[in-house]
Chains A and B, each alone.
Chain A
């Protein structure tokens, strides 16, 4: 009897543990699914609300699907909503943001690459101090610099203009972009620079022909980072712009806060989604390089 029962109980425990494993796995999936749903909830509410009519929003439930899909709110948000006294929608401000973000991202990334290249590969005297100071720039709260920056922009004669905002974003992006590129280039053996110097290449030639082609992953990381920062910026946008040069984030705020009478939730939601779309798009297009770029670096041979 005992001889027989032994293997039986063993197989029993084994099948028990197998069942336990599957149950655990399902529990995990269900839990993760719930988290995902919870996380997606606001987006869902925004999307559905933006597609409903005002009437339906007033009477229906917050999480119900729209009975009648209508894109009127989107149209209004894009070209008709009022920001204060003007009623042109987000469109002009959206283009303002594009005009600010694209050059600012491009310039700060290029300058960061050059800075990182110099600090990592051309170790001049005091290179480390300069790099530390630039790093320090990453940790200065933006509020601290508002007044001095406003004065500087005034002195330069670009206060309240789009070039002014580009300038501000380039300056405040440099700390991060330099850090990214420096940490990437520091892993590249210095013998590569030496070899190129013996081959006759100069400072810019080495950067252009050897370092830049190696930099795609870190360029993607920097572009995503900078684009997100600059596109989503509100503080600089609201401080250093004037009517006509405001970025989309400021306009969104104005649309939401300056409506009188009935609050048009559907328009607000549509406007918020429009304002957030470009950053979303950047992540979708370049996201897979993001992680790769953060972990990559070492260059063999």
Chain B
């Protein structure tokens, strides 16, 4: 099947400033693409370019197999949900939802039928005669989605739709968007700065930084095999431990030495990797466990001094200083770890990512 959205060598400049550089993204029908990155990385600009609200400086863009590079937003067969919802303040909810159809000259009977269908789907039937100012944040969010859904477009665009909601509502709406995606089998491009939102919703994630794509992949790929230090640090909470280390070839494997007080911590990398001497070792907190609680080929145990213990309910986070960095390990809740005392930790070396010290690029 042809890709529903195909972005090819897209560039966007504001005057002399390059906002987006050489963006190449392609998604299949039914994909949920999340653009994620810190604020100012260009993700909203990219979404506006896809919508046609911003002219692109270079490259091409096609939606549903048709070239849309210079097509105006209304002819792109898209629908968009905005961060501030952008509901028309003087219109009722019903008029907000049907405005687009009215503009396009859809007949009244179809309008009513579609309105009813969408209102039912989003459970906003009792609100149809209210004004946006009489709605709560969550209700406005629903109406904004209704306005997009009623269009039944090829592509949905979401611009940080949950960031104006409080924490509890945000989780609820997140689940609802995911459900909606599954029931409608819609193609969605979704912008967020929240990496948890990205992980939970996406079938495909694009990590952006400074207008450059850092990595494109499934949530699992991004999480387990980050392409560089930025992605490793940005995705996941608590963040991946990134520990400076020395690598020395040792037979078929490699010996990894991590500097710390009272003698180096020595670990063995048994995979056959060609590593330079200076590396950054990346290991997720959940891949460091209490000794005896983790089994597997790559698991190696070592005694570490516990600096801090942070119980978080389901888990307990233990912090220890290794290689000059605060390294977090995610232990089970009933751990016997105590601050200031040594503890045997199990490092799952099969999960380790290595990064070049200078470039930050992934090595394995």
Chain A residues in contact with chain B, CB under 8 A? 189, 191-192, 194-201, 205, 209-210, 213-214, 299-301
The stretch of B85-93, B118-126, B249-257 in contact with A is B85-93
Query: Shortest CB–CB separation between residue A1 and chain B, in angstroms?
Result: 64
Return chain A residues, CB-CB under 8 Å to B104: 200
Most buried by A among B85, B90, B132, B151: B90
Inter-chain CA distance A201–B100, complex, in Å, is 7
Assess whether A191 is in contact with B84, with CB atoms less than 8 Å apart: yes
Return chain A residues, CB-CB under 8 Å to B73: 194, 197-198
Return chain A residues, CB-CB under 8 Å to B140: 301
B171 within 8 A of A: no
Inter-chain CA distance A15–B90, complex, in Å, is 54
Inter-chain CA distance A214–B87, complex, in Å, is 13
Q: For the A-B complex with A194-B86, A197-B72, A214-B89 known, give 15 more contacts whose Cβ atoms are closer than 8 Å.
A: A191-B84, A191-B86, A192-B89, A194-B82, A196-B99, A198-B73, A198-B80, A199-B74, A200-B74, A200-B100, A200-B103, A200-B104, A201-B103, A300-B133, A301-B133
Most buried by A among B48, B53, B133: B53
Return chain B residues, CB-CB under 8 Å to A300: 89, 133
Given A205-B103, A210-B90, does the pair A301, B147 have CB atoms closer than 8 Å? no
Assess whether A198 is in contact with B132, with CB atoms less than 8 Å apart: no
Return chain A residues, CB-CB under 8 Å to B80: 194-195, 198
**Could you count the A-B residue pairs with CB atoms below 8 Å apart for me: how many are there?**
70
Assess whether B132 is in contact with A301, with CB atoms less than 8 Å apart: yes
Inter-chain CA distance A213–B147, complex, in Å, is 20
Inter-chain CA distance A20–B297, complex, in Å, is 90
B68 within 8 A of A: no
Q: What per-residue 1/0 map shows which CB atoms of B92-136 lie under 8 Å from chain A? A: 000000011001100000000000000000000000000011010
Return chain B residues, CB-CB under 8 Å to A210: 88, 90
Inter-chain CA distance A178–B140, complex, in Å, is 32
B299 within 8 A of A: no
Given A191-B82, A300-B133, A301-B140, does the pair A198, B51 have CB atoms closer than 8 Å? yes
Assess whether B89 is in contact with A299, with CB atoms less than 8 Å apart: yes
Beta-carbon nearest neighbor of A210 in chain B: B88
B24 within 8 A of A: no
B86's partner among A195, A200, A205, A213 (CB-CB below 8 A) is A195
Beta-carbon nearest neighbor of B89 in chain A: A299
Return chain A residues, CB-CB under 8 Å to B89: 192, 214, 299-301
Assess whether B99 is in contact with A199, with CB atoms less than 8 Å apart: yes
Assess whether A301 is in contact with B135, with CB atoms less than 8 Å apart: yes
Beta-carbon nearest neighbor of A197 in chain B: B73
B189 within 8 A of A: no
Return chain A residues, CB-CB under 8 Å to B132: 301
B53's partner among A194, A200, A209, A299 (CB-CB below 8 A) is A194
Inter-chain CA distance A195–B48, complex, in Å, is 11
Inter-chain CA distance A179–B265, complex, in Å, is 69
Assess whether A213 is in contact with B90, with CB atoms less than 8 Å apart: yes
Inter-chain CA distance A299–B132, complex, in Å, is 11
B79 within 8 A of A: yes
Beta-carbon nearest neighbor of A300 in chain B: B133
Return chain B residues, CB-CB under 8 Å to A197: 53, 72-74
Query: Shortest CB–CB separation between residue B82 and chain A, in angstroms?
Result: 4
Beta-carbon nearest neighbor of A189 in chain B: B84
Return chain B residues, CB-CB under 8 Å to A201: 74, 99-100, 103
Beta-carbon nearest neighbor of A188 in chain B: B89
Return chain B residues, CB-CB under 8 Å to A195: 80, 82, 86-88, 147
Inter-chain CA distance A214–B132, complex, in Å, is 13
Inter-chain CA distance A38–B90, complex, in Å, is 45
B280 within 8 A of A: no
Contact sample, A vs B, 9 pairs, CB 8 Å cutoff: A191-B84, A192-B88, A197-B74, A198-B53, A199-B151, A201-B103, A210-B88, A214-B89, A301-B133
Given A192-B86, A301-B84, A301-B140, does the pair A209, B133 have CB atoms closer than 8 Å? no
Query: Shortest CB–CB separation between residue B328 and chain A, in angstroms?
Result: 39
Query: Shortest CB–CB separation between residue B15 and chain A, in angstroms?
Result: 10
Q: What per-residue 1/0 map shows which CB atoms of B277-311 lie under 8 Å from chain A? A: 00000000000000000000000000000000000
Return chain A residues, CB-CB under 8 Å to B86: 189, 191-192, 194-195
Return chain A residues, CB-CB under 8 Å to B26: none
Query: Shortest CB–CB separation between residue B257 and chain A, in angstroms?
Result: 53
Inter-chain CA distance A192–B84, complex, in Å, is 9
Assess whether B88 is in contact with A196, with CB atoms less than 8 Å apart: yes
Beta-carbon nearest neighbor of B140 in chain A: A301
Beta-carbon nearest neighbor of B151 in chain A: A199
B227 within 8 A of A: no
B83 within 8 A of A: yes
B318 within 8 A of A: no
Query: Shortest CB–CB separation between residue A57 and chain B, in angstroms?
Result: 55
